[in-house]
A = this chain, B = another copy of it.
Amino acid sequence: MDIQEFVAQSIGCWKSQRSAHHLAFGHFEAITSVIDIVNLPIDDPAVVSLCQDYATDLSQIVSPFRMIWEGETDWDEKPTKGTCVLVPVPDSDRHGKLLRDQGYAEEMAAVGHYHFTDDGTFVLVTEYDRAAAEEKIWFVNPNVRCRVSLIKTSAGNGVVTASFSSEIRQEQ
């Protein structure tokens, strides 16, 4: 698995069930959403702008894409929705960076580091000022994806939130 193959498999519309475990107080949150993942051209203005922000030449990037999500959580009355642009910058077949813009729901732009394990799991680690996120995504089959996200304290080991999504490809 490389990043181009991974993005190609991810393109489409997904119905997602996500459970978030807020570990300190044992709370379960249930989120249902629809996620669209679409290819972007290399010269899309949002891609060009993000690359400029991170001093990245367009010749270094592959398979930029946009994610758009809209859903509901049982924890809060307001619906959760957002969009962001993601730009892979591979270092090798199995490692690289992933640039992400601010979008209208994310708090800040970020750059994460990804790699693939030998069983094709995509692992993304993103460091923030006060926290770190670790995400694992793998395909069970071409139409089912699993995603585990951990939010840790930046000091390292403490896990604050662990969440799991099962994502099923929708017919178009």
Binding site for B on A (CB under 8 A): 15, 17, 19, 21, 23, 26, 28, 30, 32, 117-119, 121, 123, 134, 140-141, 143-144, 146, 148, 150, 152, 157, 159, 162, 164, 166, 168
Contacts and interface: CB of A to CB of B under 8 A. Distances in A.
A164 B31 CA distance: 14
Contact of A157 (B17, B141, B146, B162): B141
The 4 A-B residue pairs with the shortest CB-CB distance, nearest first, are A164-B164, A19-B19, A162-B166, A28-B30
Contacts of A21: 17, 19, 164, 166
Contact of A19 (B144, B150, B164): B164
A15 B117 CA distance: 28
A148 B150 contact: no
Contacts of A15: 26
Given A21-B19, A26-B17, A26-B32, A148 B164 contact: yes
Contact of A148 (B26, B30, B118, B148): B148
